[in-house]
Amino acid sequence: MRPPARGSAAPARQVFRFLHMSSGHPLGEVVVGEETLDIALPELDTDRVHLLTARDAYSGVTVAARLSTTEPDGDAVLGLFGARPAAATPEPLGVARLCLGLPDALLLDHAPRFRSESVLRSAAALGIELRFGPAASAGGAAPAAGLGQWLAATGAAVATADGLMAAVQDWLSQHDLGRSRRDGRTPLDRWQEGVTRYPIRLGAAAAPARMPGAGAGA
């Protein structure tokens, strides 16, 4: 498995600290990040997996996550929030956590695959503002210890698609329940407090919002 790039975590944390201070309610701004993992999954005939995450800047909760065998594009990002493009390509892995709320804004990097006309139209139809920044900024979506680093630290062996999906669920839950050294609260605590004060926008097909720590939904 390829280790995370050295020196990439500090800028990501700085970006996240700024976003946490500047976003005044849950799903006000969500930061999209990616991680590429060298994991062999013989059943899918692949040795590389892409993780797409969406992290709420207000609470720190990763509100949505998706695994894929191909590089994610803008349609995959909007799919984290329930959007279904007409010509979606079937994905053997899929969503590990779906956010039933709609963000006010998404922060993505400048990659052209996130800026297609269809993605811009779909985001506008959902009332989502797309904001574009450097690739390092979008990296702030993932916890400082990415999935690859977490797998290496825990010694978790992943050899199947189901095993990988279970590992992602464990990684997300561990982050959501991690207590801050500053105030003792968890990202999930901040999320729950925030949605009580500031109701989130729900998508047309969404059920009442569930907390991100409960099952696969956010």
pTM listed for this prediction? 0.77
Task: Quickly tell me which residue has 């500090």 as its tokens.
Answer: 10
Per-residue pLDDT of 138-182, as tens digits, reads 444 444 468 998 888 888 889 899 999 999 999 999 989 988 878
Per-residue pLDDT of 54-99, as tens digits, reads 999 999 999 999 999 999 989 899 989 887 765 556 678 888 998 9
Task: Quickly tell me which residue has 């007409």 as its tokens.
Answer: 86
Please tell me the predicted confidence (pLDDT) of residue 87: 59
8 Å CB contact between 145 and 53: no
Please tell me the predicted confidence (pLDDT) of residue 182: 81
Alpha helix segments (H runs only) across 49-207 = 74-79, 117-126, 135-138, 147-154, 161-176, 187-197
DSSP strand E in the chain: where?
A: 30-37, 49-56, 62-68, 94-97, 101-102, 105-109, 129-133, 201-202
Structure tokens given for 102? 């709609």
Q: What percent of the chain has pLDDT over 70?
A: 74
Please tell me the predicted confidence (pLDDT) of residue 82: 80
